[in-house]
Structure 1
Amino acid sequence: MVVDRFNFGLVGLGWFGKYHADVLFNLPQVNLTAVCDLKENLVSEFGEKYRVKYRYTDYMDLMENPEIQVVDVVTTEESHFEVASEALKHGKHVFIEKPITTKVSDAEALVSQARKSGLIMMVGHILRFDVRYAYLKEEIDKGNLGELIHIYCRRNSISSWFGQWVRLNTFLNTAIHDIDLILWYSKDKVERVYAEQRFFKGIRNPDVGCAILSMSKGTTCILENVWHLPDKIPFRYSHDYRLEVIGSRAAAEINVQPVLSLWTEDGMICPELFYWPRLYGNIVGALSEELRHFVHCLSTRRQSDIIKPEESIEALRVAYAIVESAETGKVVEVRK
C-alpha cells in the first residue's frame, strides 16, 4: 500500500506550537516542511531543531508556497479566521486549534468555504482524543448511563497562568472545552444559559466564570472556571478539572487525581500523562492521537467523523450566549 506523505506548514510557534511541531515532526506521514511566526528567533530555533526547509515570518509567504499541502494553525485566537481562510483560498487543507474563530459569523463563513473547496478542515478539540473522555462517550452512547440528567464541569487554573490567556474571555477559551463535551455527550442543543463573571484581577476579561446551561431534552449543566489556584499546586500543568455525568441508570466522574506522584525535596510533582507526555523521547497522548487522526482524514480524503467543523460552530455559539448572559445578568436563549 502506498502511504501518502503530506507537507505541513505550521503557523504559530508559541507555547502550544512547540508541541504541535514535535508531534508533526515524528508522524510518519508528515513532512514538517515550513514554519512561520512573527518572532524571527522562534522561526530560527524551530527551523534548526526540526530541520525545516522553509522558514517564514509572514504567513502569506507560506501560503504562496506550492509545496505546502496542509496548514496547521496554532496562532492567537483572533487570527484563526484570517490564517485559515487564506490557507483554504490557496488550496491547502487546514487544522485549526480551538476555538475555530472568535466570531460565529467568521466560523460559519470558514466552514462554508471549506465545504465548497472540498478541502479537509478539522478543529482541535483535544478532549475528544483523551482516552478518559472518549471512553465515557462510548459508555453514554451504549446507553449504560441511561438518560442524561446532569453534567458538571470544572476547569480551574493557577493564578499566574491568567496573564497568558487574558486575551480571550474564559468562556471562549477554557470553558469551550467543556461546552464541546456537553454537546458531544448529550447529542442535544443548549436552549438557554445563565452566567455570572467576576474581575478580581481588574483587567479586561473575567478571571471567574460560572454558568448554568439548560438542554432541550431537560439535561441541566454547570460550568465553572476560576483562575485563582495557588501557583505551587503539585500538578505540572496547573489545572484542577472535574467532570461529573449523572444519568438515570449510572453516574461517571473524571477528575484531576494524578496517576503518578513523585515526592521530591521540592515537594510533590504530578506529571501530565494524558495530553502530551513523552514516551521514549516522542510525544504521545491526546494531542498525538488528534493530529494522527487528522492525517488519517487527509489520507482517506474524508472529513473527520469524530469532530465536525459544524460542532465547533455550535460550541462557539453557546460560549457567546454565556458571555452575553454574564455581561447582561439575564437568561439568554441560544439562537442559531
Structure 2
Amino acid sequence: MTAAPSGASETEPRPLRVGVVGLGWAGQQHMNRYAERPDVELVGIAGLEDERRAELAERYGVQVAVADWQDLLAQGELDAVSVATPTFLHAPVAIAALEAGAHVLTEKPMARTSAEADAMVAAARAAGRVLQVAFNYRYRGDISALREQVEAGTLGRVYHARAWWLRRAGIPTLGSWFTNREMAGGGPLIDLGVHVLDATLQLMGRPSVEAVSAVTHAELGPRGLGGAATEKSGVGSAYEVEDLAVVLLRMSNGASLALESSWATHRPSGDELAITLYGTDAGAELKVVDYAPQTVVRIHGAAPDGVDDVELPERPGTGHAGVVDDFVATVADPATWPEHDGAPAAELTRVIEACYLSATRGTEIRLDELKG
C-alpha cells in the first residue's frame, strides 16, 4: 500500500485512495461522502453480501469489490480504510490496515474490550498513521450549538448531567450478531449508550471518569420481545446481552453523569435521545425524538422565574459527512497525525468495559483497576 499524500505537488495532488469494509447502512454513509469528494478516490469495497456488493460496486464504480476484507487490503493499494463491520471485526481489520500503512476510520464502538482498543492504538502509533472513530452524533447541529454555549462559559461549571437513549422495541434483529455477546461485546450500552456517553462527556469538557456503578437488565430480549424489523443478518444466537443498562459515573473533577440506554423497554414508542446538563450558572437540555435531524436546545438561566431562559436557533448538522470530512482533513495534515491515534476512544471503551464489570460484580469499579 502507498502512504497517504503528504501534501500538494506542483501538479494537481493525487486523490486519497480509500476502501470501505462493510456494506451496511454505516458503510454506505462512508461511501457516499467519499464519492462526493473530488480529493478522494473510492477504490474498493469489501463485504459478504453478494448482491449488495455488486450493486454498490456498480453505483460507485469501484475497481475492487470483494467478499474478504483481506483481499481488499491486498489488492486495493489504499491510503485509508473505513471499517464498518460488526464490532468483533473492528480490531483485526483496523490493525491489519494500519500495519499495511493505511489510515483508519472505524465505526463505533471502537472495540469490544479495552485490550482490543489498546492494541488498535498501539498499531496506529507503531505505523505512524491516523486512527479515528466515527462518533457521528458529535456532528449534530444541536449538540454542536450546546457545546459552544458550554465552552463560552454560559453554564458555568457543569457538575452533573443526565443522558439517555431509549427505545420501546428496537433490538437490532433478535438472533443477529448484535445479540451475541462474543460478536458484539454487549447490548444497548455499547451500541447506543456509547454515543450519548461520548457526546455528554465532550459537553462536560472531557473530564476523566474515575469510577462507575452499573446495573444491566435483560427482561424482554430473552423472551423474544422488542425486536426491530431490520436487515441485520441472523447468526442463530440466543439473546446474550442486556436490553437496558443504567449507569452512574463519577469524574475525577467531582462531576457526575447518570446514563441510561435501552433497546427495548415498556415506554412510549420510538427512539429518544436526550442530554441534560446542570451547571453552576445555568442548565441546558435537548431531546431528539425518532432521529429528528434538528431539535431545540434550551438554556435555563439563573433567574428563578425563568425570564432568562432561551432557546437556541435550530441548525443543521453534518453527521457522517462531517465525520468523513474531518478524517480526510486530518490525513491531509501529517503534523496532526500523532494527535489522532484513537487513544480517547480507547479510554471510552475502557469506561464501557468497567460498566459491564460493575454490573456483573454488583460493585463500583474504579477505572484505574482496568489500567495496566
TM-score normalized by the length of structure 1? 0.86
Report the CA distance shift for 1:272/1:178 in structure 2 as closer, same or farther (over 3 A): closer
Question: In structure 1, what is the Cα distance between the partners aligned to 2:35 and 2:216?
Answer: 41
Deviation at 1:245, TM superposition (A): 0.7
Report the CA distance shift for 1:245/1:4 in structure 2 as closer, same or farther (over 3 A): farther
What's the % identity of the aligned pairs? 25
Alignment of 1:51 with 2:61, yes or no, is: yes
Alignment of 1:14 with 2:24, yes or no, is: yes
Deviation at 1:204, TM superposition (A): 0.8
Question: In structure 2, what is the Cα distance between the partners aligned to 1:314 and 1:35?
Answer: 29
Deviation at 1:210, TM superposition (A): 0.7
Q: Which residue of 1 aligns with 2:107?
A: 97
Alignment of 1:129 with 2:139, yes or no, is: yes
The answer on whether the counterparts of 1:179 and 1:318 sit within 8 Å (CA) in structure 2 is: no
Report the CA distance shift for 1:31/1:149 in structure 2 as closer, same or farther (over 3 A): same
Aligned amino acid, residue 319 of structure 1: I
Aligned amino acid, residue 166 of structure 1: T
Alignment of 1:159 with 2:169, yes or no, is: yes
Aligned amino acid, residue 301 of structure 1: P
Of 24, 32, 36, 2:46 maps to: 36
Q: Which residue of 2 aligns with 1:180?
A: 198
Q: What aligned pairs does 1:164-243 form with structure 2 within 5 A after superposition?
A: 165-167=178-180, 168=184, 169=186, 170-184=188-202, 185-200=204-219, 201-202=221-222, 203-228=239-264, 233=269, 238-243=270-275
The answer on whether the counterparts of 1:36 and 1:59 sit within 8 Å (CA) in structure 2 is: yes
Report the CA distance shift for 1:161/1:20 in structure 2 as closer, same or farther (over 3 A): farther
The answer on whether the counterparts of 2:271 and 2:291 sit within 8 Å (CA) in structure 1 is: no
Question: Match of 1:209, SS?
Answer: strand
Aligned amino acid, residue 55 of structure 1: A
Of 271, 280, 284, 1:248 maps to: 280
Question: In structure 2, what is the Cα distance between the partners aligned to 1:50 and 1:66?
Answer: 15
Question: In structure 1, what is the Cα distance between the partners aligned to 2:159 and 2:265?
Answer: 29
- RMSD of aligned C-alpha atoms? 2.5
The answer on whether the counterparts of 1:294 and 1:304 sit within 8 Å (CA) in structure 2 is: no
Question: In structure 1, what is the Cα distance between the partners aligned to 2:325 and 2:80?
Answer: 14
Aligned residues: 313
Deviation at 1:273, TM superposition (A): 2.4
Deviation at 1:230, TM superposition (A): 7.7
Question: Match of 1:204, SS?
Answer: coil
Q: Which residue of 2 aligns with 1:264?
A: none
Q: Which residue of 2 aligns with 1:311?
A: 344
Question: Match of 1:86, SS?
Answer: helix
Report the CA distance shift for 1:103/1:307 in structure 2 as closer, same or farther (over 3 A): same
The answer on whether the counterparts of 1:4 and 1:299 sit within 8 Å (CA) in structure 2 is: no
Which consecutive segments of 4 or more residues in structure 1 shift more than 3 A? 1-4, 229-233, 302-308
Gaps of 5+ in 2: 1-7, 223-238, 296-316
- Bigger drift between 161-170 and 239-248 goes to 161-170
Q: Which residue of 2 aligns with 1:27?
A: 37
Report the CA distance shift for 1:211/1:271 in structure 2 as closer, same or farther (over 3 A): closer
TM-score normalized by the length of structure 2? 0.78
Gaps of 5+ in 1: 258-269, 276-283
Report the CA distance shift for 1:254/1:31 in structure 2 as closer, same or farther (over 3 A): same
Deviation at 1:49, TM superposition (A): 1.4
Aligned amino acid, residue 323 of structure 2: E
